[in-house]
Each structure stands twice: as C-alpha cells, then as structure tokens.
Structure 1
Amino acid sequence: MAGSLQNPLPNISVNQDQPEEYVPRRRNRTGCLTCRRRRKRCDGVRDVCGHCIRLNLICHWQGPHEIGEGSASSSHSVSQRPRVTNHSCVPLTIPIAPAPFQFLQSDAPELARRSLDRKLALRYYVQIFNTMLTTNLENNGFLSVLLPMAIEEKALLDMLIAWSSSHLSLCDDTYRIKALEHRSTALQSFTASLLKNELPEVSLACCLVFCSMSAVLGDTAEWRNHLVGAAHIIRHAWLSSSQDGSLKNPPYEIRWLLRNFAYHDILMSVTLDREPLIPGRYWIPQPVNELDSYVGLASEPLALISKISSLNGDAIRQMESSSPCSDSESISSSSHDTDDSSFSQTVDLISQAYSIEFELQDWKCPESNSQCLVNLAEAYRSSALIHLYRVMRRRILGSSTELEGKIASQVTSIVYQLEQMPLGCLPECTSLFPLFMAGGETRSKSTMQFIRERLQHIATYRHFQNAASALSVLEELWLQHTSITGPMTGHLLDWLDIIRRRHWELALS
C-alpha cells in the first residue's frame, strides 16, 4: 500500500490506449480563439498573436461573458453558457474586414483564379472588397446602391469589375494584366455611356468609382480629374435648378452618391489647400444622424471641414487682393482704404474661425452601439479642429503658443480615439485622414511610431496604396523635424511643402 501511494503515476504513463485528446490540457487556455480552433499553442499576445500575424489570419479573442441572475450559484445557468465549436465561434462585437487572402485561398478553381474572369472579379467585390470600403454594414451603399445600379447599367458593372480586379491585383501580381484589361473595358463602356447621354446618376457613379479606384491604386496625378467630372455632372443635373443650392427629397441612391462625392471633394480641399469644388451642405444625410458609408457618424464634422476650407479660400483671396501692385500712384491714393478694408476682412475671418471652433467643440456625437464609429467620429472632429488651427496659423493669425497648444491637444485626442479601434475593424477604412492630420503636426516619436504602424497596416492588410503614399510624405516630414537641433528660425517645413515639391495630388479618401 505504501509503495503504491509513493508512485501512483507509472500505471497511467504505460497505458498505450490513453487517447491523445488528454495531452492538450497543457495548452494555453487564455490564447486567441483562432489558435484554439486550429489546436495550436498561442503566445497570448493581444490584439494579434504571433501565429495570426505570421499566417495572416484574423485573430479572434473571446470577450467577457454576461452573468445572469443566480448564475453564480446555479449549475443550470453554467450549462447554458455558449460554447465554441468547430462550426461557430463566439460572436464578435466589432466586425472585422475580411483579408483579401481569404478569397485568394478559397476553393475557387485554379483555372478561374488565373484567368480572373468577370464573374470571379464580381464575386470578390461582393464577398470581400465592398466590406473593406465601408465603416458599417447597416448603410453599406457599395452593396445597396452601386450593385443594384450595376445590374441595370453595363458601364457601371464594368467599372465595378475593374475596381475589384484592380484591388485584387494589388494583393496578387498575377492578376495585374487581367486587371488592366478590365480597366480598359470599363473606360470604353464609360465613353459609350457618355456619348449616349445615359442617366446622370450612372455617369456620376462611374466617375466616383474611377476616383476611388485611382486613389486605392496610389495615383497622385489623375484621380482629381474624375472628381472634377463628377462635380460638373452634379451641378448640371441637380444643383443648376435649385435656388438655394440644395436638393428637395432626392431618391436614396442620389443622396448616397452626393455624400460619396462630398467625402472625396472635402478631403481633397484639405490636401490641395483650396476650396471644395462644390461647397455647402447639399449632401447632408436625412435624417442627419443616418450612418454614412465613409464617415459613419461624422457627417457634421465633415461639413465643418468643408466650411473651414471655404474660409481658407476667403483668406487666400484676401491675401492676394491686399498684395502690393506695381503702380505706385494707385498705391498711395488707395492705401488708406485698402488698409481699412483689409482690417475689416481680417476681423471677419477671425470671427468666422472662432465661430467654427465653437461649433466643433459644441457638437455632440450621436449615440451608437458601435464604439468604433464613435471613436472615428471624435477623431474626425479633432482633425477638423487641426485643419481650422492650421488655417488660422497660416492665413489669419500666424503662429502662436496658444494655437500650437490647441493643435497638440487634438493630436493627442486623435491618437487616443484611434488606439481604441482594433486593427482591421470596419471604421479603420477611413481613418487615413485623421492619422495623416495628426502625423503632420506631431513632434513625439511615440506618436510617430503609432501612426506609422497604423498606416502600414492599412497599406498591407487592406492594400490601399494611398496610405503608403501618405506615409512616405510623413516620413520625409518627420525626418526633417527630428533632425533639427537647436532653435529653428524661419519657416518650419510643412507637409504641404513636400506635396508641392513632389507635384503630388495626395488622396486621403
């Protein structure tokens, strides 16, 4: 009896019939759900473990369980706890955009994958790509608007296929030639559609798809032309007959297309340092708190960004009008009137700037079940304030300690809000703009590193090449700022200087 108590394990260890399912009891039970379903040992690194990074998998983590009444003392309630099986996983509260490689590694026939025919490109758009473009699934206009229109209009269908195949070619270079063929077909169909004078909403949708496709491909020269064409269509088809520059109860599809255009137009006004092509609130969703595919809950901050860009245009015109002319007699005769007029205009600009600042600070983000959408909206509010303070610094008041402090505070706010958004979440798709605005003003190396990692993730996970272009501008800017030793005299390099020197038209949309 004593001997058996001293050595109770040999009988267990020599049992050759013991099933191997008992061995994994030593696995890390606190690892991610992805590794647990694959029966692999997880290193436990949040938010993305090492195995999922290496294999380019979506790293799922189990969230906290709710405890019902009496569940702490009732074995019945414990039995009702949801269990993870091989066919389902714990529902995620934050939707994650699917990686393109999930489609590439699907069970599609090898011949079809190599040929990238139209059906395969359209299936990629429906299954993967559209989800990478929207901040939410409730109002995903890339499916609910563009796809039904494309069923009836061949030009738009060709454009969606070209867009989808072009993005797929960024993920796998073997699709590049076929993607070029699809883009050529789309251009021919679009030209034929314009010659036949098709419905204006179809032409507008094609222009917007071409603009987005050029931005995703990293174009820094031609994407704005498609936006200019879209602006002409909007003015001619809808705004020309409107007395106050707004539309009265347009159909849902047209409202979505106008919001789509406004998003690209307003962000373009920031990077090109100019007014929007079509200023105003013609595109504001009804109801106002309706989720937008691009900016989610941030429609009001986006409208105020447009207002700031218009203010910037007014300030530029004032500077040009107050510049000295060559006629010395006209200068002496009108200098007093010019000074009074210039002073009055400056006071008016300052008043408008502080009014916009108050509107942004007073804005309340609509309530939402998605915390990520709230985080994105707050990041856009801070980006709008940075844009405002930059205009005040460059055009109206000049640099001051107060303005620099306000800018630094908004940079901190953007980083805080975006840190709450997990990598790969749906609202991440339009976080490029706030990341860039914060990166252009930060002097903190830790903040630079955070922005660098986020932009690299957007460029590698979503394959949005305009994120890589934006990062290259910031890297040059950061190199200049971090290499400065001692006090800086004169003009401090700005990201606008880098863009102009490169002759770029940077797309942040």
Structure 2
Amino acid sequence: MPDTTLPTSTHHPPGNDRPIRRRIAVDGRVRSGCLTCKARKKKCDGQSSSTDSRCKSCIRLGLVCEQRPLVRVPMRWRGKKTPRDESPPILSEGDGSFDHGSQITESGRDHGSTSVLRIRSLGQEPLSPLLGSQDDIERKLLKYFLQNVAPLCSLLEQGGNSWCSVFLPMAIIDPTLLRALYTYALTHFDACSSVNAVSPQARLTFENEVAQGVSNAITQNRVTESTVACALVFSTAVVTRGDTSSWLLHLLGAGHLVNHLGSQQLLRTSDGAFLLRYFAYHDIMAALSTGRRPGIEGVYWVQDAEETVDSADTFMGLAQHLFRHISDICVFVTDVADLDPLLEPERATREIERAEAIAYALRSQDLRLKIESKGKDVEPLVHHAEAVRSAALIHLYRHLLQLSDSRAEYEAFIEDEIGKIIHHVSSVPLNRFCELGLLFPLFMAGVACGNNTSTQEFVQSRLQYIETWTRFRHVTRARELLELLWGNGRMDWQNMLREINWQISLA
C-alpha cells in the first residue's frame, strides 16, 4: 500500500497560494476617500493621480474630485491644565479648521494686565464643501444659517431666536428672502472655511435671484415687509463679506423700500417694527461712518420716543434712546462739512452752540430702563450702551475741535471719554454677544487715542478677538483702517477713507 501524506492543514491546501477573497458588506456609508465618491455612495480607490490629484474613479467619470480640507494639528501646551483649557474647539485663524489650542491675549480690566482667554466656539465640525442635489445644498445652508449666523445677528444672548421668528415665516412664503438667507450663510461659511461652500456660479445664481426678486416686487408695485427684509439681509451679508462700496448702495435701496411702505405702516405689526429698527440702526451707523445724512431723520422706529425700555433691542441693546442723538450728530456733521470758521464766524458760533446742545442732551440722556440693570444679562448691555454714548461724544467733539478755539477743553473731554470706553469695554465679559456692538466704541477710541500705544494695543486686541470668533470681515476692515492711521501717525480717518476710496460700516 503506497504511503499517503496527509495535508497539514485543512484550511491551506498545498499548491494553492491564491488568497482567499472575503466578501465585505458595504452599507452605503463610505468613511474614507474623496468627498465626491462619498457623496455618490461609491467606494473610492484612494489612488490619487500625480497630475491633478484626482482618484481613478473621478478621472474615469470626468468628475471634480473634492478632497477633505487639511486640519491643523493642535499644539499641546505644557504645564498644568486649567478649567479654561477644557473649552470646546475653535476655528483657527489660518485655515478655518478647528483648533483645540488656539488662544488670544486680551488686555485685562486694569488696562495694563494681560490674560490668556479662549476664543468662543461656534460649535461646528470642520467645514467641507456642500455636495449633493440643489435641495440638499439649500437645506444645509438654511441649517447653517440658523445654527451659526442667526445668533451673531443680535446683541442678545438669545437674539438669534428673534431673527428666526421674524424671517423664517416670511421666507416660507417668499423664496427671494430664502435666497437672501442662503447668500448670508454662504458669506459666513466661506469666511470660516478654507474651501468655498459652493461654486462661484451657484453663489452668483443665489445673488441674482435675490436682485431679480426685489426688482420684480418694485416694478409690479407689490413691495411688502419681506421685500424690505430681503434688501436688509442682503446688504448685511455684503457688509460682513468685507465689501467697501456696494453694501451702501444696497442699504440705500432698503431705505427707499422703507420710505415706500412708510414707518407708520411698518409699526402696525411686530415684524414691521423689527425691520424698522433693523434699518434705523444700520442707517444711522452707516451715516456716521460715511459722513452723510441718515436716510430717514428723526425718531421713527418707535411709536413713543419717550417710552421706557422694558426689554433690550436686538440691534440697539439698551441704547435705544441714545440713537436719536447719534442721528442728530450725523445731521450736524453733514451741515458743517463746508463751513470755514474763518470765513463765516457768525455761522460757526451758531453751529458750535447747536453742537453743545446736542452734546448736553446726549450726556444727560437717561437710558430710561424699566428693568433691573444689575442682572447677569443686563449689566453687559448697560456697559455697551455707555460705551456707545462715549463714542458718539468723541465723534462730536472731534468736529467741534475744527470749529472752536477752545481746543484744550475739547481735547480734555475726548481723553475723558476714551477712558470711559476702555472701562466699559473691559467690563463686558468676553464671549458675550453684545461684544458685536463694541466695534463703534473701539474704533472711535482707536482713532482719538493718537500715539497712545497702550490704548492702541487694547483696541487692536479686542477687535482681533471679535473678528476671530465672528468672522465678520467688516470688523477686519475697521481694524485695518486703524492700523493704517497709526502707522502714518494720522487721526483724520474720514480723509483717509476718501483717499483709499473705502466706505466702511461700524455696525
């Protein structure tokens, strides 16, 4: 009987080196590879071409191969952790990705100490391009607006709810307003990410649809509250993009629509009154920064100009009674723009008396609060209002310097108001939404401080903090203008704006 050699293993018979193929279940969720294959729910080969970095599947089908954005590796800080080191991840300055270790230095309350604090998290994951069908992209944009943009549109901690309660019901009926919200979301998305949310063509399509919708409403004589909302939202989106010219045209267009409907008609509804306050705030701040008269003068955004304040406003906070005087200052500045006190001394005397009356009214204006001013949410808003008061007085006193011989007196007034701004801004805790309203006070303090490096550093640090966590580019433009003034030893910011052909918003 011949010898028979038995195989040593039943699993691997000799002479058969072919690997065993195992069937892998695919549930439709691709966890690696390019984003294009992931959106198509196809397995990506992950083999990038050396010429254009596309995977073989995308090359074969002629598709754009979208790759994941690079994520910055966080630095590990040595030393003992503090409770602040446990804060959520944040957007890094360089690439829009989240960085667990990024920090910013902010001057302390004593205007001399320095403390390290974390930048507020927007609670997002790293941003990737929006892929999918048009409906999918629009749904993601609306979700992004509600979660990340709407909260930044108010001085109040829960102010995003006001935005949503006013604009969402309108947007359900008016697709043009919905496109305006998409545009605003795209603007902020792109500022937070190293990649564009959608293609430039898709962005342009949204913007054209907004412009066409507003134009049709005007030509067909069917302007409504939602038409005003479209113009205001689009103007704000262009402002936060860092635009230095066209935003003002959009705001002026919104003013024409407000005039068309009339303030009394808008005040009949809560949504109309909200839109009226929206326009009034941005119009007054734009008039201040561009040296023009407000589109509508007077106190038109409330029924009773002397009413007590029982709740903070989304845009003006608790400074509602101060904005009437800021509007008067804008009118005064426009009226004296062509005044030469040497050629017209009598007129100069009258205008100085007029300005002094405005200054007295602003200094003595009570906030007329009907609420407790020492609450956790109210106290920062009081400091915001007082900082706005001081900033408006600085703006007025700087123009009085050009008309009056009492320079030393007004310079002392200005120095005093700068100190008040530093105090009130330092009293507003970081990560409070009312920080968004501190751009105007910080800018005026930076303009008027001259060569005071301590104040310059405080203003620059706080502005950088605000622009880092909001990603609003108009804050960047204001800071860049200040740095240009400081670098050239100048204080004439309005002349500088004319020289570089900029129009900025301090809203």
Asked whether the two chains share a fold, i.e. TM above 0.5, the reply is: yes
Kept after mapping to 2: 8 A contact 1:103/1:124: no
When residues 417 and 285 of structure 1 are mapped into structure 2, their CA distance, relative to the original with a 3 A threshold, is farther
Residue 174 of structure 1 corresponds to 196
2:255 alignment partner in structure 1:
231
2:442 to 435, 439, 443: 435
Letter paired with 2:468: T
- Alignment-derived partner of residue 47 in structure 2: none
Answering whether residue 168 of structure 2 is matched by residue 161 of structure 1, we say no
Maintained 8 Å contact 1:302/1:384: no
Q: Report deviation, 1:372.
A: 1.4
1:458 aligns with 2:466: yes
1:268-287 CA distances to partner (integer Å, 9 max, x unpaired)? 11111121121110014765
Moved more, 133-142 or 197-206: 133-142
Does residue 277 of the first structure (1) align with residue 295 of the second (2)?
A: yes
Q: Distance in 1 between matches of 2:313 and 2:83?
A: 35
Aligned pair partner of 2:150 in 115, 122, 130: 130
Note closer, same or farther for the CA distance 1:110–1:130 as it changes in structure 2 (3 Å cut): closer
3-state SS of the aligned residue for 2:196? helix
Cα distance in structure 1, aligned partners of 2:198 and 2:283: 29
Tell me if 1:303 matches 2:321.
no
Task: Name the structure 1 match of 2:169.
Answer: 148
The Cα of 1:359 is off from its aligned counterpart by 1.8
- Listed one character per residue, the Cα deviations across residues 299-339 of structure 1 (whole Å, up to 9, x for unaligned) are 1222211011112223236x28x998xxxxxxxxxxxxxx6
Change (3 A) 1:165 1:301: same
Q: How far did 1:259 drift?
A: 1.0
TM-score, normalised to structure 2, is 0.70
Q: How many pairs were matched up?
A: 395
Alpha carbons 1:129, 1:164 under 8 Å: kept: yes
1:170: how far off? 1.1
1:197/1:130 Cα in 2 relative to 1: closer, same or farther (>3 Å)? same
Identity of aligned residues (%): 29
When residues 308 and 398 of structure 1 are mapped into structure 2, their CA distance, relative to the original with a 3 A threshold, is: farther
Aligned pairs (5 A) from 1:64-463: 99-100=121-122, 102-105=123-126, 111=131, 117-137=137-157, 140=160, 141-172=162-193, 173-175=195-197, 177=199, 178-238=202-262, 249-284=267-302, 287-289=307-309, 290-316=311-337, 319=339, 343=346, 345-365=347-367, 366=369, 367-368=372-373, 369=375, 370=377, 371-394=379-402, 396-397=403-404, 400-443=407-450, 444-463=452-471
- State the alpha-carbon separation in 1 of the partners of residues 385 and 126 from structure 2: 35
User: Contact 2:151/2:158 (CA < 8 Å) preserved in 1?
Assistant: no
Q: Give the distance between the partners of 1:195 and 1:275, measured in 2 at CA.
A: 27
Report if the CA contact (8 A) 2:129-2:197 is conserved. Answer: no
**One-letter identity of the residue aligned with 1:386:** I
Letter of the 1:350 partner, please give it: I
SS at match of 1:316: coil
- Residues 210 and 424 of structure 1: is their aligned pair in 2 closer, same or farther, counting only changes over 3 Å? same
Task: Answer yes or no: is the 8 Å Cα contact 2:156–2:317 preserved in 1.
Answer: yes
User: Structure 1 residue 162: deviation in Å?
Assistant: 1.2
8 Å Cα contact 1:134/1:293 also seen in 2: yes
Paired amino acid for 1:464:
F
* Aligned-pair Cα RMSD in Å: 3.2
Decide which moves more: 133-142 or 156-165.
Answer: 133-142
Asked if the contact 2:485/2:491 (under 8 Å) is kept, the reply is yes
The alignment status of 1:477 with 2:485, answered yes or no, reads yes
The answer (yes or no) to whether the contact 1:259–1:285 under 8 Å persists in 2 is no
Post-superposition Cα deviations, 1:68-99, rounded to whole Å, max 9, x if no partner, equal xxxxxxxxxxxxxxxxxxxxxxxxxxxx9964
Corresponding letter in the other structure for 1:295? M
One-letter amino acid of the structure 2 residue matched with residue 170 of structure 1: A
Range with bigger deviation, 359-368 or 260-269: 359-368
Seen in structure 2, the aligned counterparts of structure 1 residues 136 and 249 have a Cα distance that, compared at 3 Å, is: same
> Which residue pairs with 2:500 in the alignment?
502
TM-score by length of 1: 0.70
Q: Deviations over 1:333-382 (max 9, x none)?
A: xxxxxx6xx61x43432222222222222223334322211111111011
Note if contact 1:211-1:226 (Cα within 8 Å) is conserved in structure 2: yes
Deviation, structure 1 residue 190: 3.2
Instruction: Please report how far the alpha carbon of residue 54 of structure 1 lies from its aligned counterpart in structure 2 after TM superposition.
Output: 4.4
8 Å Cα contact 2:214-2:230 kept in structure 1: yes
Alignment-mate amino acid for residue 418 of structure 1: V
The residue identity in structure 2 corresponding to 1:422 is: P
The one-letter amino acid of 1:349's match is E
* Residue identity in the other structure for 1:508: L
CA deviation map 1:104-130 (0-9, x unaligned): 348x99856999711111111111211
Is the contact between residue 421 and residue 442 of structure 2 (CA under 8 Å) also seen in structure 1? yes
Call closer, same or farther: CA 1:398–1:463 in 2, change over 3 Å.
farther
Change (3 A) 1:399 1:462: farther
Deviation at 1:455, TM superposition (A): 1.4
Partner residue of 1:72? Answer: none
Provide the C-alpha distance between the structure 2 equivalents of 1:207 and 1:294, rounded to a whole number of angstroms.
Answer: 17
The answer to whether the 8 A contact 1:266-1:305 is kept is yes
User: How far apart, in 1, do the equivalents of 2:166 and 2:103 lie?
Assistant: 30
CA contact (8 A) 2:119 2:469 kept: no
Distance of 1:105 and 1:381 partners within structure 2 = 39
Change beyond 3 A, Cα 1:413–1:184: same
Q: Higher mean Cα deviation, 461-470 or 279-288?
A: 279-288
Task: Say whether the 8 Å CA contact 2:267–2:301 is kept in structure 1.
Answer: no
Letter in 1 for 2:480: S
Structure 2 partner of 1:34: 86
Given that 1:116 and 1:165 are in contact with CA atoms closer than 8 Å, whether structure 2 keeps it comes out as: no
- Cα distance in 2, alignment partners of residues 166 and 264 from structure 1: 19
Distance (whole Å) between structure 1 residues aligned to residue 395 and residue 136 of structure 2: 42
Shift of 1:498: 1.0
- CA offset at residue 168 of structure 1? 0.7
Higher helix share: 1
Deviation for aligned residue 1:467: 0.8
Change (3 A) 1:148 1:97: farther
Distance 1:174 1:147, change over 3 A: same
The Cα of 1:473 is off from its aligned counterpart by 0.8
Residue 229 of structure 1: how far off its partner (Å):
1.1
CA distance in 2, matches of 1:98, 1:406: 35
Change in CA separation of 1:308 and 1:470 when aligned onto 2, cut-off 3 Å: same
Shift of residue 33 of structure 1?
Answer: 7.5
